[in-house]
Amino acid sequence: MRASDLPRAETRLVTPRALASYAEGLGWQKVPGVNGGIAAYTNPREGKRQLVVPADADLDDYADRAAEAVVRLAEFEKRPAREVLEHLLLPPADVLSFRVVSPETETGDVPLEVGGEVIEGARNGLLAVAHSVLDPQPFFGRMRREEAKRFLSKCRMSTGRGSFVLSVACPLDLPLHIPGMEAEPYARRVTGLFVDALAALASAPQVINPFALANPNHTPGVSANLCEALLRLRPEGNRSHVTVSAAWSRALLPKNRPANVSVRFDQEAFELIETIAPQLRTRPEPKAGWYIGFVEELRGAAVGDDPRPAGEVRLTLFIEGEPLRARANLNAEDYALAGEAHLANEAVHMRGELLRLPRLNHLQNIEHFYPLEFDEEPDA
């Protein structure tokens, strides 16, 4: 985008301090001795190229010069200029964008009911994580903490085009001291934990034991409330997905994080979230014992330097004569035995802990996995 394409009515509203803070947050360094109503900046990544920031908002051509600075910053970040402009018009804030991609959002508008679900899902998800920052729990029966409600009341939303996009600005000017934590804005702790929890949930289908997410000590931001909020964002259609991205305030970039992050939820991730949510609410206890069944699907792959496949298999177990579908994760040795049994249509026998879940049961902590001949008796 060219500077001339940005609306001057909006670039005039960008303050010199906002431009300077944004640039400095990205590593631009002010060149000393420059005056005349401008400030010049250099960046080690840009060689000899400079960024010129107008220092006096009363200049007649301030809107033009501000537009040029916005475009220059956008080129540096490889980010849309319009997005950078919208960020600069906000107070120092982390901006979370919820993008729903589905056949019915291609025109950029959605049914009012769908839009309401996205807004409510974003609101409830942030409120849940705002409580997790204060006291991680698998489920919050009541989300009434004043600190969390105050944070939510200060957030501001906007919408964009190109699929359906909801942007939520979370201002960083809400201090909160929690013993044992660094003096970091409460809003940043919320947005940081929110993104970490989303990343854990989005990648859950690929990990060995996704149900470890139900342990707040393992992933403190994950709760039943957050899962249920995310399920409100789920679009229809097998190829539909949701992307949540975060653009941290340039006035206070977090350490050890990229300036922009993005998390994508495909339908498989939503299915697993739907399974995890009730577990977080009810905390079902796994039942240890010996189990017999058949291997129905092999879903593993080679991991690391080991060329042998390992990982998920789908089983049909027989509990008191009734078939029960379950998933399990096997090491390379057990996975090879599962493959042989599957090809030979033989039953398998194993000891493990069965976790009964609403959609697909989970057999974990598996030991003594081997094909079963029907004339042998299971070990006691």
Residues 201 and 272 in one domain: yes
Q: Which domain holds residue 316?
A: 287-372
Residues 21 and 123 in one domain: no
Structure tokens at 137: 């729990």
Residue 243 lies in a domain: yes
Surface-to-core class of residue 367, CB atoms within 10 Å of its CB (0-12 exposed, 13-18 middle, 19+ buried): exposed
pLDDT in the model for residue 377: 52
Residues 351 and 264 in one domain: no
Contacts 24+ apart (CB under 8 A), 339-346: 339/295, 339/298, 339/309, 340/371, 341/294, 341/295, 341/371, 342/294, 342/295, 342/296, 342/298, 344/371, 345/294, 346/294, 346/371, 346/372
Contacts 24+ apart (CB under 8 A), 213-219: 213/276, 214/138, 214/276, 214/279, 214/280, 214/283, 215/138, 216/132, 216/136, 216/137, 216/138, 217/136
Residue with tokens 């993008």: 99
Nearest to 170 by CA among 90, 238, 102: 90
Angstrom distances, CA of residue 321 to CA of 285, 291, 316, 324, 364: 22, 12, 11, 9, 21
Query: What global pTM score does this model have?
Result: 0.61
Tens of pLDDT, residues 229-263: 999 998 888 888 999 999 998 888 888 888 889 99
265 neighbors 241 (Cβ within 8 angstroms):
yes
Tens of pLDDT, residues 15-49: 998 898 888 888 888 888 777 678 888 988 887 78
Residues 134 and 265 in one domain: yes
The CATH number of whichever domain residue 346 belongs to comes to 2.40.50
Q: Which mean pLDDT values do the consecutive 10-residue runs of the chain (380 residues) have?
A: 82 90 87 80 83 88 92 90 86 87 75 86 95 89 89 84 77 61 80 94 79 73 91 86 92 86 92 83 76 93 86 90 88 94 93 79 90 61
Residues 123 and 251 in one domain: yes
Which region holds residue 47: left if phi is over 0, alpha if psi is between -120 and 50, else beta?
left
End-of-domain residue from the set 54, 88, 122: 88
Residues 52 and 73 in one domain: yes
